[in-house]
Amino acid sequence: MPSPDDDHTGTRIREQRRLARLTQRQLADRIPYSYSLLNQVECGARPATADFVATVAHSLGVDVTVLTGQPYVTEMQHDRLVELVRPIRESLDLYDLGPIPDLTARPAATLIGEADTLCEAVRATHLRYAARTLPGTIAELTHTAWTSPSTDIWQALASTYRTAHDITVKLGYYDLSAVALDRMAWAAERASDPCLGAVRQYMRALTYFREGEYVMGQRLIASGHDIVGQAETTRESLAVAGQLHLGASVICARARDGEAVKRHLSEAGSLAKQTGDASDVHWLSFGPANVTLHKVSAAVEMGQYDDALKQARRVRLPAAMATSRRAHFLIDRARTEMETGRTDQALEHLVTARRMAPEQTRYHPGARETIRGLVHTARRTPDSLTYMAAWVGL
């Protein structure tokens, strides 16, 4: 049995490469990365960045999770999160079974408010509370949708399916997140809500982004624009359109299409000037601040770490920004600091992310790979880094 230090993304890449009967040189010839980098990743000398993993997974014809080892079941068992996944899975299967016998649902207004509360909980990174509360809320909303359907109820049910997607993505259950998005489409159609439908396409696009399928991701973004274009021009529809442009910017950055990145960020910036801070719209965190953060993310995805660091140092996050988004930025910045040789600063940002959003940070593959990279490159291993490495299961 391999030791914990042997169980990393590079090891899994080597295993899958060998199963595909490829040498390192042959795999390197298939991807836009050097043989040297592939060799270093496989032996654990360099961290496997998200774009590298997605490219290799696409080349080998496997899911990204096969290479990242998600979900991280051992850590989830320790945190008692595994036991919360099955009820979510079961609640997603209630959608076409009609009213639930012997269930007395709370009033519609209460359930609609609960759907918003769950969205807010995920953005505050209260994943355990949200995961525990979600299945019952989905059951009650499903029952109510069958017995007393209304646009508001269908919208709230679509929102809870979106929350199921958000939770399962953060925990690494991508198969279940895809089911949740299918259910979201089912409810959004019954609500006749094009903005919800467009948000669903945005989330589908990010799924393909993680898997390295950038053409499909861009097609889904375009589909989202077509759908939201059916809605009246309101602050809501403008914010959704703007978020679609932000999603496109990071997809195009991974595809190394710099001109498209600039175009999408420019469009998003123009829309953000019209909406102002629209973080209340579908909990997308859209607004001028998020446009700024996506400029940093795009530079990171294109490997322009010096530029990303310069931009990141100028960022001043508004106090009202969702905790989940703040933690995501810190993880991005930690990677940037590490790639530019500032290991102490990288660790500092990861420690802050952990303090701010422990569950999100612990199960974020980028955070884990950055910690592994810091461990490998450190001339001395400070106690805080040793603790972080043990905490994520390295």
**The domain that contains 9 carries what CATH number?**
1.10.260.40
Residue 159 lies in a domain: no
Q: How many domains does the chain fold into?
A: 2
Count the neighbouring beta carbons within 10 Å of the beta carbon of residue 149: 13
pLDDT tens column, 298-317: 999 998 999 999 999 999 98
Residue 296 lies in a domain: no
Provide the token pair at 4: 């914990």
pLDDT digits 0-9 by tens, 181-232: 999 999 999 999 999 999 999 999 999 998 889 999 999 999 999 999 999 9
* 375 is a domain residue: yes
End-of-domain residue from the set 15, 49, 69: 69
Least confident of 6-20, 131-145, 332-346: 6-20
Residue pLDDT, tens place only, 259-303: 999 999 999 999 999 999 998 899 899 999 999 999 999 999 998
Q: Which amino acid is at 368?
A: R
On whether the CB atoms of residues 177 and 168 are closer than 8 A, the answer is yes
Q: What single letter denotes the amino acid at residue 87?
A: P
Q: Which domain holds residue 42?
A: 1-69
Which of 19, 54, 69 finishes a domain? 69
In a domain, 233, yes or no: no
pTM above 0.75, yes or no: yes
Which of 45, 69, 93 is the C-terminal boundary of a domain?
Answer: 69
Please state the rounded mean pLDDT for residues 368-377: 87
Number of H helices, E strands in the chain: 22, 0
For 131-143, how does the pLDDT look when each residue is reduced to its tens digit (9 = 90+)?
999 999 999 999 9
**Secondary structure (3-state) at 177:** helix
Q: CA 98, 103, 108 angle in degrees (round to 5)?
A: 80
Residue 264 lies in a domain: no
Classify residue 274: in a domain, yes or no.
Answer: no
Mean per-residue pLDDT, 111-120: 96
Give the distance from CA 244 to its chain's centroid: 15
The answer to whether 385 touches 371, Cβ cutoff 8 Å, is yes
Q: What is the pLDDT of residue 74?
A: 80
Environment class of 291 (CB within 10 Å of its CB; exposed 0-12, middle 13-18, buried 19+): buried
Confidence bin at 5 (pLDDT 50/70/90): low
Q: Is 227 helix (H, G, I), strand (E, B) or coil?
A: helix
pLDDT, tens only, 45-94: 888 888 899 899 989 988 888 888 888 888 888 778 889 999 999 999 99
31 part of a folded domain: yes
User: Are the C-beta atoms of residues 22 and 382 closer than 8 Å to each other?
Assistant: no
CB atoms within 10 A of CB 62: 17
Contact (Cβ atoms closer than 8 angstroms) between residue 242 and residue 251: no
Helices 127-147 and 85-92: angle between axes, nearest 10 degrees: 20
> Which residue is listed with tokens 């012997």?
102
Q: What is the 3-state secondary structure (H, E, C) of 279-301?
A: CCCCCCCECHHHHHHHHHHHHHH
Query: Within a domain: residue 344?
Result: yes
Q: Helices marked H in 302-342 — which ranges?
A: 305-314, 323-339
Enumerate residues 6+ apart whose C-beta is below 8 A from 275. 235, 238, 239, 242, 281, 286, 287
Dist. CA 39–CA 34, nearest whole Å: 9
Residue 247 has pLDDT above 60, yes or no: yes
